[in-house]
């Protein structure tokens, strides 16, 4: 067995460190705060934490603008604090993944500052992409109404290429296609790109030596520019994976998104159907996600009370990956730091049972975004905090980043700071969900998520390795896991039923409003159920 094969059985929990738990009453979450809540994650059944970037940063983009990859941001603590979390988590059987921002840095990074102060290209090869005015502006336009080139503040003249915000200069990993009229394009084997490839190894090794289990890679396929099909970029990651296999065989790298399927073996250890993907949006999007980049509202999603959605987009993508890489782990998130939570808009706690039953039994590697397990709500009408609004008038990511709601104490138990000092405001509703409240209720979302995780652990057919066969792709959605267990979810507010002649009955392992008998499945509104089959 591959030492990194643990990923197929993992259950991830994404922690946005600013908002999880504040230990020092400054209004911002920190690593000692995480340390204090590891017992909660162990009780829930989590075995892998995914941290959003916790490195030094000016926080123009909430930490996705890194100024030092080898130092924890002071707002979160110290390197020793992160190591303490890693070690304490390991004692509880929990691994830690870090977010690796591989494609760009902050303008405050020492690498960029050195090139900014130079008068021309580095003799060792530029770490960033620089162009003069005519080349940069004329030949490489950006998206409509903007350019990817930013005027140098000097003393170096010309323009630098950005990846996202102006404060995020793109690291130079070369271009797949060279052009004489664009002299800033260098090959992937030029000195600058070679320096950056080595830097990725050095950064990864630094944290792997301190106990992390691997990395989720932000904008993983953005590295090599002008790269049709991402051929050169995936080759770069395949090279890194080969090094990992030798030096750190149990470590994993997971991309943001899905890997192009143009090579026989994969460069990454998994695919990730994040909320930025159409696959995820077709399942859970409640109208907010598409607005991040000014896209039109998404089509009705499947897990919506009106019952007008479809599983077709998700199933098509799933089948495509399975045909190419039959055993590849595929991660699926409840939500994440960039988009709406599961509990968004009119979606109620009652509706989340079907969603979590699917998420934890389909055969993906589930990733639970902090707070989703208590039905924490997306918050509207918040300020733009640390780049949370990408384009004015469009979606505000801050609504998915509000503090974790632990209790009915001050600031929902997140922080003892004055409320005005909080990183983001707490849900002001009197009935806001909290961990403490849901621990007291057997019918809470938290109780259900814990039962589902425990059932997944004790029933291998429901995990990330067994086969999945769809019996009904509509309402209700019904599928077999390992040919031995039936899962049924009905996320709409209307009753749904189907006839399945080869299934006579099933023993309910966990069910709410779903009945299986006489070759018929009946599912009440928002019903869900997991059954061990009794065949004719």
Whether 339 and 411 have beta carbons less than 8 Å apart is answered as no
* Range from 118-132, 156-170, 320-334, 390-404 carrying the lowest mean pLDDT: 390-404
Report pLDDT for 232: 96
Question: Which one has a higher pLDDT value, 293 or 317?
Answer: 317
* Range from 93-107, 294-308, 499-513 carrying the lowest mean pLDDT: 294-308
Report pLDDT for 141: 42
* Mean of pLDDT values over 62-66: 98
Phi, psi angles (nearest 5°) of residue 390: -80, -50
**Residue 145 predicted with pLDDT over 50:** no
Phi, psi angles (nearest 5°) of residue 224: -80, 130
* Mean of pLDDT values over 452-475: 96
In total, the chain counts a number of residues equal to 536
What dotted CATH number matches 467-534?
2.60.40.1180
Domain ranges of the chain: 3-101+270-456, 467-534
DSSP H/E element including 369: strand 365-369
Residue appearing with tokens 């696959």: 279
Can you tell me the distance from the alpha carbon of 175 to that of 172, in angstroms, rounded to the nearest whole number? 8
Q: What is the pLDDT of residues 43-52, one digit of tens each?
A: 999 999 999 9
Give me the sign of the Cα torsion angle 341, 346, 348, 351. Answer: negative
Closest by alpha carbon to 85, among 246, 191, 213? 213
Q: Nearest-5° angle of CA 426, CA 428, CA 430?
A: 125
Report pLDDT for 142: 42
Can you tell me the distance from the alpha carbon of 441 to that of 50, in angstroms, rounded to the nearest whole number? 28
Report pLDDT for 64: 98
* Mean of pLDDT values over 472-494: 97
Closest by alpha carbon to 253, among 261, 263, 239? 239
Report pLDDT for 369: 98
Q: Which CATH superfamily is domain 3-101+270-456 in?
A: Glycosidases (3.20.20.80)
Torsion angle of C-alpha atoms 509, 511, 514, 515, degrees rounded to 10: 40
Q: What is the pLDDT of residues 180-203, one digit of tens each?
A: 989 999 999 999 999 999 999 999
What secondary structure letter does DSSP report for 172?
-
Q: CB 51: neighbour CB atoms within 10 A?
A: 24
Buried b (16+ CB within 10 A) or exposed e, 236-274: bbbebbeebeeebebbbbbbbbbbeeeeeebbbbbbbbb
Q: What is the pLDDT of residues 202-247, one digit of tens each?
A: 999 999 999 999 999 999 999 999 999 999 999 999 999 999 999 9
* 3-101+270-456 and 467-534 share one fold: no
DSSP H/E element including 231: helix 231-247
Q: What is the pLDDT of residues 383-400, one digit of tens each?
A: 999 999 987 777 889 999
* Mean of pLDDT values over 111-130: 94
Integer distance in angstroms from the first to the last C-alpha of the chain?
37
Can you tell me the distance from the alpha carbon of 133 to that of 256, in angstroms, rounded to the nearest whole number? 33
* Mean of pLDDT values over 412-439: 97
């Amino acid at each position: 067995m591959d030492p990194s094969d643990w990923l197929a059985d993992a259950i991830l929990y994404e922690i946005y460190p600013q908002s999880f738990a504040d230990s020092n009453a400054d209004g911002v979450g920190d690593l000692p705060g995480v340390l204090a809540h590891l017992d909660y994650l162990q009780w829930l059944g989590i075995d892998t934490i995914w941290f959003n970037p916790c490195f030094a940063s000016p926080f123009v983009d909430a930490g996705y603008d890194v100024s030092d990859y080898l130092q924890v941001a002071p707002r979160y603590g110290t390197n020793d604090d992160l190591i303490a979390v890693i070690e304490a988590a390991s004692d509880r059987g929990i691994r830690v993944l870090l977010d690796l921002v591989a494609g760009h840095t902050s303008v405050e990074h020492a690498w960029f500052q050195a090139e900014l102060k130079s008068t021309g290209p580095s003799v060792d090869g530029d770490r960033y992409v620089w162009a003069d005015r005519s080349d940069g502006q004329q030949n490489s336009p950006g998206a409509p109404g903007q350019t990817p080139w930013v005027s140098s503040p000097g003393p170096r003249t010309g323009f630098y290429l950005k990846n996202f915000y102006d404060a995020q200069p793109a690291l130079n990993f070369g271009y797949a296609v060279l052009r004489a009229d664009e002299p800033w394009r260098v090959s992937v084997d030029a000195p600058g790109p070679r320096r950056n490839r080595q830097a990725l190894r050095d950064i990864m090794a630094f944290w792997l030596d301190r106990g992390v289990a691997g990395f989720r890679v932000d904008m993983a396929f953005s590295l090599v520019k002008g790269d049709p099909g991402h051929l050169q970029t995936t080759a770069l990651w395949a090279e890194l994976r080969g090094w990992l296999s030798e030096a750190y065989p149990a470590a994993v790298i997971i991309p943001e998104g899905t890997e192009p399927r143009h090579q026989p073996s994969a460069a990454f250890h998994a695919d990730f159907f994040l909320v930025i993907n159409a696959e995820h949006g077709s399942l859970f999007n409640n109208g907010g996600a598409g607005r991040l980049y000014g896209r039109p509202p998404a089509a009705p999603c499947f897990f919506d009370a009106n019952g007008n959605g479809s599983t077709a987009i998700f199933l098509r993508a799933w089948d495509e990956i399975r045909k190419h890489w039959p055993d590849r782990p595929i991660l699926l998130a409840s939500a994440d730091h960039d988009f709406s939570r599961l509990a968004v808009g009119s979606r109620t706690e009652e509706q989340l049972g079907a969603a979590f039953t699917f998420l934890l039994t389909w055969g993906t590697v589930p990733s639970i975004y902090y707070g989703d397990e208590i039905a924490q709500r997306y918050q509207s009408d918040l300020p733009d905090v640390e780049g949370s609004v990408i384009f004015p008038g469009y979606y505000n990511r801050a609504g998915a980043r509000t503090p974790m709601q632990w209790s009915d104490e001050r600031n929902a138990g997140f922080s003892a700071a004055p409320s005005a000092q909080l990183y983001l405001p707490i849900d002001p509703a009197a009935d806001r969900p909290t961990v403490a409240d849901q621990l007291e209720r057997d019918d809470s979302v938290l109780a259900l998520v814990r039962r589902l995780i425990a059932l997944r652990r004790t029933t291998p057919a429901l995990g990330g390795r067994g086969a999945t066969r769809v019996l009904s792709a509509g309402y209700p959605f019904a599928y077999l896991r390992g040919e031995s267990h039936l899962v049924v979810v009905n996320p709409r507010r209307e009753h749904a039923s189907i006839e399945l002649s080869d299934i006579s009955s099933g023993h309910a392992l966990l069910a709410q409003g779903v009945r299986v008998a006489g070759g018929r499945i009946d599912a009440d509104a928002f019903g869900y159920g997991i059954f061990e089959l009794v065949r004719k």
